[in-house]
Amino acid sequence: MIIREFGVRQGRKALAAPLRRGQQCMRALSTETSGTPVATADPAVEAALQTSPENPTVPSLFARTAKPTRRRPVAPDTTKADWETAQQLRHNLRNVGAQVEHRYSPSDVFRNPPGPKDVTLELLMASQAHMGHHASVWNPANARYIYGIRQGIHIISLEQTAAHLRRAARVVEEVAYHGGLILFVGTRPGQTQIVTQAARLAKACHLFTKWTPGTITNSDKILPGLPVEIVNEHDQPVGGFNQHLMDRRALVPDLVVCLNPLENFTMLRECSQANVPTIGIVDTNTEPTWVTYAIPANDDSLRCLAVIGSVLGRAGEAGQKRRMEDAKNGKVTWDTPSEIKQFMDIQQKRAQWTKRAAEEEAATKDKSGGLNGKPSSGSATKDSEVFDESMQKLQMEVDAATADDVSPQLRKMSRRTD
């Protein structure tokens, strides 16, 4: 035992309330019945105990023959009193013992995620963003980001890291502002929390398991029938698109942030084929051309990744906030996707034609009921023919649009203005 802790332990024991004994202990300890009343929840037992021991009441026949109930007496709830005692104790002992200084904890970055404005060279250095790989495994394409060699490893220039990180944060913010779909990818062990937190902040998607090859390029086979929702500019779901959702293609993100490009070549390749810009953390052994925006940093340090992820997440959060504010003021920062626009046009025209046809029919009925006995449904048939023709034309257009592979810019959150 260490002498310093003596006061804490013994003091706490001395100040604490004595151990509260339950009723069963008392009964076990004494064979005779005591005159002191014992708190019980059973009113019958309580009444029996409260009667004076001089003239004991004869138990009734039922009480004599009845088996004792199995129900245990309920102890009074002392949670509140205990809690208050504990608080008092803590208050009394507040000056006892050593003052614990707050040092670094890996969860700090998750409790209080830094934003793009908190990025400093000191922070990046403390989170080991400057450590590259051994000089022999470098990728010469990263020469621009390397400051020097120290003890055999390349040191990444933190000025470059900070500049590229701010640039990437700006991209994330703007894409979020324009209502784009962002995807955070980190598939190494330990990156789950980083990725999910960034996605939560930026209202984005995340991936921490293996990227199924073909999720973008073969999405018709890999992601069929996944639930998609149409929302308006206030991010509220809009109904009436079930028919469209049944036969629309899967979504493609508008921006992909990858924490470990080295293991996700397939995904980055698919993104480049679908013309999706990507942001990636590029260590000294990574190929920087795989991503659109490279952030030179140490991709082996979870602390560094957590800082970068939270910075990008915060940037996305700022963009989403701006977008929602603008939406409240009546400004919509995105255009309706073309396929949804087409669907809406078709729906509108169909409604118009149906209405007109109904009107025509009503008019014909009126006429036939009047002077002219001959049923003249000529105009109505003509109208319906025209309607059918136009519907066919539109349908052909839609078919052409959906059959073509030229337009990969399908949006996840397909939106329409109200």
Partner 1 sequence: MVRGPAQRQIRPARVYQTVTTLMEHRIKPRLAVQQPVWYKVVESIPPSEILTRPFPPQHRQPNPRARKASRLFQPQKLVYKEDELRKKFYTDHPWELARPRMIIEMDGKDALRCDWSKGLRQPGMPLSGECVVQRQMYLMENVPGITEDTAYDQVRKEFYKLRQEEEIERRIAQEEARMVGAYFGQTFQQVGMKLEDQQFERWKRWATREIEKIQGEQTAAYSSFDASEDPEAADLDVDSLREDLESTANTPPA
**Residues 169-188, interacting with partner 1 (CB under 8 A):** 170-171, 174-175, 178-181
Cα–Cα distance between 283 and 139 in angstroms, integer?
Answer: 9
146 part of the interface to partner 1, by CB under 8 A: yes
Please say whether the dihedral angle defined by the alpha carbons of residues 332, 335, 340 and 342, taken in this order, is positive or negative.
positive
- 166 versus 367: smaller Cβ distance to partner 1: 166
Smallest separation (angstroms) from partner 1 to the CB of 374: 44
Cα–Cα distance between 8 and 346 in angstroms, integer?
Answer: 78
Q: Tell me how many residues contact partner 1 (CB under 8 A).
A: 75
End-to-end CA distance of the chain: 72
Q: Beta partners for 146?
A: 156
- 270 versus 360: smaller Cβ distance to partner 1: 270
- 7 versus 56: smaller Cβ distance to partner 1: 7
Cα–Cα distance between 364 and 381 in angstroms, integer?
Answer: 11
What letter does residue 237 receive in the DSSP assignment?
A: B
Cα–Cα distance between 410 and 413 in angstroms, integer?
Answer: 9
406 part of the interface to partner 1, by CB under 8 A: yes
Cα–Cα distance between 271 and 6 in angstroms, integer?
Answer: 64
Smallest separation (angstroms) from partner 1 to the CB of 64: 58
Q: Which of 3, 14, 100, 246 binds partner 1 (CB under 8 A)?
A: 3
Cα–Cα distance between 260 and 270 in angstroms, integer?
Answer: 15
Q: Which of 186, 288, 309, 316 binds partner 1 (CB under 8 A)?
A: 288
- 38 versus 125: smaller Cβ distance to partner 1: 125
140 part of the interface to partner 1, by CB under 8 A: yes
277 part of the interface to partner 1, by CB under 8 A: yes
| Location of structure tokens 């052994």 | 285
Render 370-393 in DSSP notation, one character per residue. SS--S---HHHHHHHHHHHHHHHH
Q: Which residues are CB-neighbours of 118 under 8 A, at least 6 positions away?
A: 311
For the segment 193-252, give every residue that binds partner 1 (CB under 8 A).
none
Q: Where are the alpha helices (DSSP H) in 16-157?
A: 23-29, 43-50, 61-65, 79-92, 108-111, 121-126
Q: Which of 85, 192, 196, 272 binds partner 1 (CB under 8 A)?
A: 272
Smallest separation (angstroms) from partner 1 to the CB of 175: 5
100 part of the interface to partner 1, by CB under 8 A: no
192 part of the interface to partner 1, by CB under 8 A: no
- 192 versus 272: smaller Cβ distance to partner 1: 272
Smallest separation (angstroms) from partner 1 to the CB of 171: 5
- 198 versus 315: smaller Cβ distance to partner 1: 315
Q: Which of 262, 324, 357, 391 binds partner 1 (CB under 8 A)?
A: 262
- 120 versus 354: smaller Cβ distance to partner 1: 120
Give φ, ψ of 182 to 5 degrees: -105, 145
